[in-house]
Structure 1
Amino acid sequence: MKTVNLSYPLTAGIIEENAGPQIAAIGQFDGVHQGHASVITSAVRLAQQKGIPSAVMTFHPHPKDVMKKGNYEGNLTPLHEKQELLAAMGVDLLYVVEFSESFSQLSPQAFVEGMLLTLGVQTAIVGFDFRFGHKGEGHAEMLRELGNGKMNVEIIPPFEQEGEKVSSSTIRKALQTGELEEANRLLGHPYRLRGEVIDGDKRGRTIGFPTANLRIEDKFVVPAKGVYAVRSLVQGKWMSGVMNLGVKPTFQEGVTAPSFEVHLLDFDREIYGEQLTVELISYIRPERKFPSIQELVAQIQADADTARRILDSSN
């Protein structure tokens, strides 16, 4: 998959290199959840039928982050994760449109004529609730009108599971309330975090459970505090593990910023400075304060055993 960074207005070089007949799915696609996948796979299928490239057009940074409006609390799927998921879905071309305050002023007509038609989008595929242009005044039917016979538009209906519309806001809420299995079900894949392994207080090593302390670099949605069964991509290999996300109340008070500590099962190598991708598979329990270090150690061992059973059974 080829990734192309765009800003408005498009430059002659960008147009010359990328313009041509193509089928484009357009949207923010934060989470690339099952509802988003229904839009994207429709574009991939149609492009394959017509023998032309499939494209996805998304916007970065997240519009809610730029405009400071709404309930934006971080990404479900940061850009690098989105790239990996889209590539795996068979997308040929990813357009990453720079979203800024000036871009937010763009009229729906200017967006269609100056970007979509200029790039040669033959068919645009969008979700039923797609909005675009200044103050979101553009909608899916308007997109069809502005195509003016030069661009077809397919509008994908809501994707539902068990009678419930799959949405990013529902997934965010599920993550933040500890309903990880529900969030993963709606996503269609395990929720992921990624960060650099940094020096910590090394307390885990002294009690027999060394941990990789992660500095989360992207603005992820932070799940509920607690203990999770996880899989971590370490040096190209997926490893089973248990993660504590929280403020370590047994050892410290008055801390509000959560830490992310992953204990990798059956692993004892140094990995400081490396990037870890962590898939959250199951929520084991909430974080709590223990009256003694001995009781904490016993619980960590129990959590590790629980994580091992969960992960072994899910393989």
Structure 2
Amino acid sequence: MNGSTGTKKIKFIAIGAFDGMHRAHQELFKRAEAIVVIEKGNAQLTPGKVRCEFTKLPCYFFHLKDIKQLDARGFLHLLQEKFPNLQKIVIGYDFAFGKDRKYSIKDLQELFDGEVEVVPEIKIDGISVHSRVIKEFIKEGKIEEANKLLGRPYMIEGKVVKGQGIGKEKLVPTINLQVHNFLLPKEGVYATKTQIDGKIYKSVTFIGHRITTDGSFAVETHILESFEGEPKSARIYFYAFLRPNKAFDSLDALKRQIMQDIQKAKVVLEQV
């Protein structure tokens, strides 16, 4: 569990899996003093404690494997034990809990002496703000649509690893990332920003199989600004899908395309 605020003082909590910490989740947080994350271990938009970076509220984690055998009364007792002055529980319209999501909002309302505030479905441009919807957009390369529901640019992070070496010598220099736990967007080229050691640089990023060269899968980002150094890790923020992954007849043809990608990325990034 994580958080700096003493739990005895906390009266209002928001509960959920909160993968994404998106705009609908933020509506719950406006009504709470702390966040209780039910960690299922399958978060891909904001895995683990990455969630804590997208809120000013203290975050407390309950791992599903530790609580899934509890019935509704046992789950509520656990919450009240952790937050002895609990007066209000804030949940989303589709909240369910317990083994196989057996228990509903109605069960929580019947058992809890305090207030259960249910935040209704949030829609933007007629689209439900839901982690499932955002994930589908990302898988399809629809970055602008995903970002609109997230309320921020989609981000991944990873460890910097050694690349195949062709980029710096014959194409453009890139930083190669090994990414775990985060959902990767559709294969292709993206206008991005890359954060290294706290500083953010404009960049263009490729995700996919390097079908023109060695065929291996890669996440590699080319920094568009002056940059030197050998970072150990990096974050990539996605702004727009530029083109799908495709094969080229030669490295020269690939390089010409990369130059075009860079110009497109610069145009996009001038506007964000």
Question: How many Å separate the matches in 2 of 1:118 and 1:59?
Answer: 14
SS of residue paired to 2:87: strand
State whether residues 105 and 135 of structure 1, in contact with CA within 8 Å, keep that contact through their aligned partners in structure 2.
no
Q: State the 1:118 CA deviation.
A: 4.6
**Could you say which residue in structure 2 is the equivalent of 1:19?**
8
**Could you say which residue in structure 2 is the equivalent of 1:293?**
251
Q: In the alignment, is residue 38 of structure 1 matched against residue 3 of structure 2?
A: no
Question: How many Å separate the matches in 2 of 1:123 and 1:144?
Answer: 11
**Could you say which residue in structure 1 is the equivalent of 2:207?**
245
State whether residues 17 and 40 of structure 2, in contact with CA within 8 Å, keep that contact through their aligned partners in structure 1.
no
Question: How many Å separate the matches in 2 of 1:311 and 1:118?
Answer: 45
Counterpart of 1:97 (choices 36, 59, 62) is 62
Counterpart of 1:180 (choices 110, 121, 143) is 143
State whether residues 204 and 211 of structure 1, in contact with CA within 8 Å, keep that contact through their aligned partners in structure 2.
yes
Q: State the 1:197 CA deviation.
A: 1.1
Letter in 2 for 1:261: E
Q: State the 1:140 CA deviation.
A: 1.6
Q: Which moved more, 1:228-237 or 1:113-122?
A: 113-122
SS of residue paired to 1:158: coil
Q: State the 1:138 CA deviation.
A: 1.5
Question: How many Å separate the matches in 2 of 1:110 and 1:259?
Answer: 46
Counterpart of 2:164 (choices 176, 188, 201) is 201
Q: In the alignment, is residue 119 of structure 1 matched against residue 83 of structure 2?
A: yes
Q: State the 1:267 CA deviation.
A: 2.9
State whether residues 68 and 99 of structure 2, in contact with CA within 8 Å, keep that contact through their aligned partners in structure 1.
yes
Provide, for residues 116-145 of structure 1, a one-character-per-residue CA deviation record: whole Å limited to 9, x for no partner: 355222110000110111221221222111
Question: How many Å separate the matches in 2 of 1:118 and 1:170?
Answer: 32
Counterpart of 1:283 (choices 241, 252, 256) is 241
Question: How many Å separate the matches in 1 of 2:3 and 2:127?
Answer: 35
Question: How many Å separate the matches in 1 of 2:213 and 2:199?
Answer: 32
Question: How many Å separate the matches in 2 of 1:107 and 1:19?
Answer: 24
Q: TM-score, with normalisation over the residues of structure 1?
A: 0.81
Alignment RMSD: 1.8
Q: In the alignment, is residue 267 of structure 1 matched against residue 236 of structure 2?
A: no
Letter in 2 for 1:270: G
Gaps of 5+ in 1: 6-16, 44-53, 66-73
**Could you say which residue in structure 1 is the equivalent of 2:46?**
77
**Could you say which residue in structure 2 is the equivalent of 1:49?**
none
Number of aligned residues: 270
Question: How many Å separate the matches in 1 of 2:10 and 2:236?
Answer: 38
Provide, for residues 248-270 of structure 1, a one-character-per-residue CA deviation record: whole Å limited to 9, x for no partner: 100134x4xx3100000123412
Provide, for residues 201-225 of structure 1, a one-character-per-residue CA deviation record: whole Å limited to 9, x for no partner: 12110124110000113x1112100
Question: How many Å separate the matches in 2 of 1:140 and 1:99?
Answer: 18
SS of residue paired to 1:3: coil
Provide, for residues 92-113 of structure 1, a one-character-per-residue CA deviation record: whole Å limited to 9, x for no partner: x21111221x521111110001
Q: In the alignment, is residue 167 of structure 1 matched against residue 146 of structure 2?
A: no
Question: How many Å separate the matches in 1 of 2:239 and 2:47?
Answer: 19
Identity %: 28
When residues 141 and 208 of structure 1 are mapped into structure 2, their CA distance, relative to the original with a 3 A threshold, is same
Q: TM-score, with normalisation over the residues of structure 2?
A: 0.93
Q: State the 1:4 CA deviation.
A: 4.5
**Could you say which residue in structure 2 is the equivalent of 1:59?**
38
Letter in 2 for 1:262: T
Question: How many Å separate the matches in 1 of 2:49 and 2:262?
Answer: 30
